[in-house]
Amino acid sequence: MKIFVTGSSDGLGLLAGQQLVEQGHSVTLHARNAARAEDARRALPAAQDVVTGDLASIAETREVASAANALGPYDAVIHNAGVGYREGRRETVDGLEHVFAINVLAVYLLTALIAQPKRLIYLSSGMHRGGDPNLTDAQWTARRWNGSQAYSDSKLYDAVLAYAVARKWAGVCSNAVEPGWVPTKMGGASAPDDLQQGAETQVWLATSDQAASITGQYFYHKQPREVHPAVRSTEFGDALLAYCARLSGTELSAAR
């Protein structure tokens, strides 16, 4: 199978790529810039290729999608790229809040622009349960900045995207994953969960026969786990898709 993994120059993305290659699959990695791409190539020389582009930029995200399509089509896309909650509020080149731009809008835009695979996997977090399903101030221009809340919101939105895509694209298996609190740069060295296990569910959803017909679900260590009620809301899912379409200038197409 051919799989594209975003944010895969290190951490869970790279680990998922390594597990996929070990299973005999063809993997395309993604890195933010050329230096990170070289790191990825050294870490996983068996990868088919590395696509480069900063997902904080709408223009570069479009370039990532174009480059990925040139190397595809893919059987699965794992939307792993993301940033954490320890940074202060800052704006991207497009004037968007940084956490939202990378964790949510780039994920939406790549979903819309990359040729539809058979399977889509979105990285969420247990922190999504503390997310606020309210798009009124999604860019944090009116509220006092709270990095933990912004991250929780973004991971809620990722799960909402997974379910909304599952409803919109009947022929694509779209699911969300909670990898656990694992010792990556984002999670920190003291994180208690197992790193290897943190990538296994993404790989399983992307490749296994068992997961070939599973869609619109949320998993933790290959087991279904309950989600924030907003994740199942068709109304909020449609609102998030419309919001992302407005910000990016790209609508999610009908199923092909």
Q: What dihedral angle (degrees, nearest 10) is formed by the CA atoms of 214, 166, 173, 201?
A: -70
**Average pLDDT rounded to a whole number, residues 149-155:** 98
User: Cα–Cα distance between 60 and 54 in angstroms, integer?
Assistant: 6
Report pTM.
Answer: 0.94
Average pLDDT, the chain: 94
Q: What dihedral angle (degrees, nearest 10) is formed by the CA atoms of 9, 10, 12, 14?
A: 50
Q: Torsion-angle region of residue 222: left (phi > 0), alpha (psi -120 to 50) or beta?
A: left
Tokens of 255: 């199923």
Residues carrying an active site annotation? 151, 155
Residue 155 pLDDT more than 80? yes
Per-residue pLDDT band at 171 (split at 50, 70, 90): very high
**Average pLDDT rounded to a whole number, residues 122-150:** 97
Residue 120 pLDDT more than 80? yes
Kindly calculate the radius of gyration of the chain based on its CA atoms and give it in whole angstroms. 16
Q: What integer pLDDT is reported at residue 85 of this predicted model?
A: 84
pLDDT digits (tens, 9 = 90+) for 195-220: 678 899 999 999 999 999 999 999 99
Q: What integer pLDDT is reported at residue 193 of this predicted model?
A: 61
Cα distances (angstroms) measured from residue 179 to each of 10, 71, 194: 15, 27, 9
Residue 12 pLDDT more than 90? yes
Q: What integer pLDDT is reported at residue 254 of this predicted model?
A: 74
User: β-pairing, 218-220 with 223-224?
Assistant: antiparallel
DSSP alpha helix (H) spans, the chain: 11-22, 34-43, 58-71, 98-100, 106-113, 147-168, 195-207, 234-248
33-42, 53-62, 78-87, 180-189: which range is least confident on average?
A: 180-189
Angle at the Cα of 21 (from 26 to 62), degrees rounded to 5? Answer: 50
**Average pLDDT rounded to a whole number, residues 96-107:** 98
End-to-end CA distance of the chain, in Å? 20
Per-residue pLDDT band at 76 (split at 50, 70, 90): very high
Full set of structural domains in the chain with CATH: 2-248 (3.40.50.720)
Q: What integer pLDDT is reported at residue 14 of this predicted model?
A: 97
Contact 15, 200 (CB under 8 A): no
Cα distances (angstroms) measured from residue 110 to each of 17, 138, 141, 209: 18, 20, 25, 25
**Average pLDDT rounded to a whole number, residues 105-121:** 98
Residue 4 pLDDT more than 60? yes
User: β-pairing, 76-79 with 119-123?
Assistant: parallel
Residue 10 pLDDT more than 80? yes
Angle at the Cα of 249 (from 248 to 252), degrees rounded to 5? Answer: 85
Q: What integer pLDDT is reported at residue 253 of this predicted model?
A: 87
Tokens 């990359």, residue located: 114
Residue 191 pLDDT more than 60? no
**Average pLDDT rounded to a whole number, residues 2-7:** 98
Q: What is the DSSP-derived secondary structure letter of residue 177?
A: E
